[in-house]
Structure 1
Amino acid sequence: MTGDVHRLLKARDKAFRAGDEAGLRTAMVNLSQGIRKAKQDYTNKITSHLQDSRDAQSLWQGMQAITDYKPAPQTCEGNTSLLNDLNSFFARFEAQNHTHPQKTPPPPMTNPCTCPLLA
């Protein structure tokens, strides 16, 4: 539902509550036209996703919008075996490393006063 359709619905309800038959007829016609325009705009938006077959992401967004597809949220709860397998996989690289870490000294700073280019 777009903002325009919502506004037209309120106008129709207001005319109905006021008992204004002419205003109600006009509001109903405007609402019908507004809904038709909103549907056409939505159709154009979805078909624009499907126009370029080279853009796979846009194509899938269009397909998901048409089918109202929403993927189930993925959680790791209760799947500790996967976490343990990942931990073992990455820990094996550390087990093979027998060198001790060393801090490398920074390169010596050159004094700008003794730099031959500035002299």
Structure 2
Amino acid sequence: MNRHFQHSLFAFVAACALNAHAESPMPSSDAFVSTKTRAAVQAELAAFRQSGVNPWSVSYDPLRSFNGSASREQVKADYLAAREQVQAFAGEDSGSAWLARRVVPASSALVQLRGLEN
């Protein structure tokens, strides 16, 4: 028991003796240069506070003023039409087999190829 205690004490002292540096020893020499004046920043803050919308608030509701234009029947039809695609993308192959079977119109394929050139 005494030997076990000595080994534990040695390990503890060795761990405490090690130095740990969370940041670099030299401070950063990059000086911050603001692109806005203090008055402009204060004006933006005042406008933000007056708007009454705080996206970091617990009571923030982004859908409070949302008005949908689709009817219930349209939403149900869209859901039923997309069910096969959603099931395919949630499958084991992440939808690669479904995408391989899909027929892409020629005009759409041309747009996709042009998008890949960038």
Same fold (TM over 0.5): no
Give the helix-richer structure, 1 or 2. Answer: 1
Normalised by the size of structure 2, how large is the TM-score? 0.21
Normalised by the size of structure 1, how large is the TM-score? 0.21
Q: Using CA pairs below 8 Å that are at least 6 residues apart, which structure has the higher relative contact order?
A: 1
